[in-house]
Amino acid sequence: MVSSVRAAVPRYLAQVWRSPGQILLLVLSVWFVSNGPVAFAMNPSLSFGARMHSCTVMVFGFIPVTVNGWHALFHFVTGIAGLFAARTARSALWYGIGCGWFYLIAAGLGLAGGDNVLGFMAVDTFGNWIHAAEGGLALTAAALTTAVTPAPLARHNPRLK
């Protein structure tokens, strides 16, 4: 099992390393996936509407992070999809466009709705601006997928060819 993972990781990285956009989407997707379990551990509640529960934690003593189970799923699902999409420039392009607009819409709804998005995803103002930045990064990554570069890792590492 470990040897098959060791063989798959370099192949995956060689696929992703074909354009700056794919690399940026990989980094963004890892960020999303890592946020999911952390947010779910903070508050796994999946309730809706008036029964919606959330948890706000101050990170570094001054950054408010408001989450619930839906917020955790929001990040985790988009992150897993991004890890798959980053493998080809075409799928990275469409994922970047879709994810970018999805995050920008979520940010706008959060800013308009106060402490939640559509009555189920807990947010705060700082988090809404973070979602807007993440959406902007995803759209930037989509634009960068057209800038195909030779795989520098493959040139220097025969295992990646």
Domain definitions of the chain by residue range: 1-147
List of residues 6+ apart from 21 with CB closer than 8 A: 89, 92, 93, 96, 140, 141, 142, 143, 144, 145, 146, 147
Whole-prediction pTM: 0.82
Higher pLDDT, 102 or 62: 102
According to the model, what pLDDT value does residue 156 have? 55
| Of the candidate ranges 72-76, 117-121, 147-151, the one whose mean pLDDT is the lowest | 147-151
- pLDDT greater at residue 28 or residue 64: 28
Q: Are 12 and 87 in contact (CB under 8 A)?
A: yes
pLDDT in tens, 27-39: 999 999 999 888 8
Contact (CB, 8 A) for 22 and 153: no
How far apart, in Å, are the Cα atoms of 93 and each of 83, 88, 133, 138, 147? Answer: 13, 8, 18, 9, 11
Q: Between the CA of residue 152 and those of 13, 155, 161, what are the distances in Å?
A: 11, 5, 11
Q: What percent of the chain has pLDDT over 70?
A: 88
Interval 35-48 mean pLDDT:
80
Instruction: List for the chain the helix, strand, coil content (%; round to 5).
Output: 70, 10, 20
Res 56: pLDDT: 77
| Higher per-residue pLDDT: 155 or 60 | 60
SS3 state at 160? helix
Mean pLDDT of all residues in 100-109: 94
What is the Cα 49 distance to its own chain's centre?
A: 25
Checking if the pLDDT of 136 tops 60, the result is: yes
The pair of structure tokens assigned to 107 is 């940010």
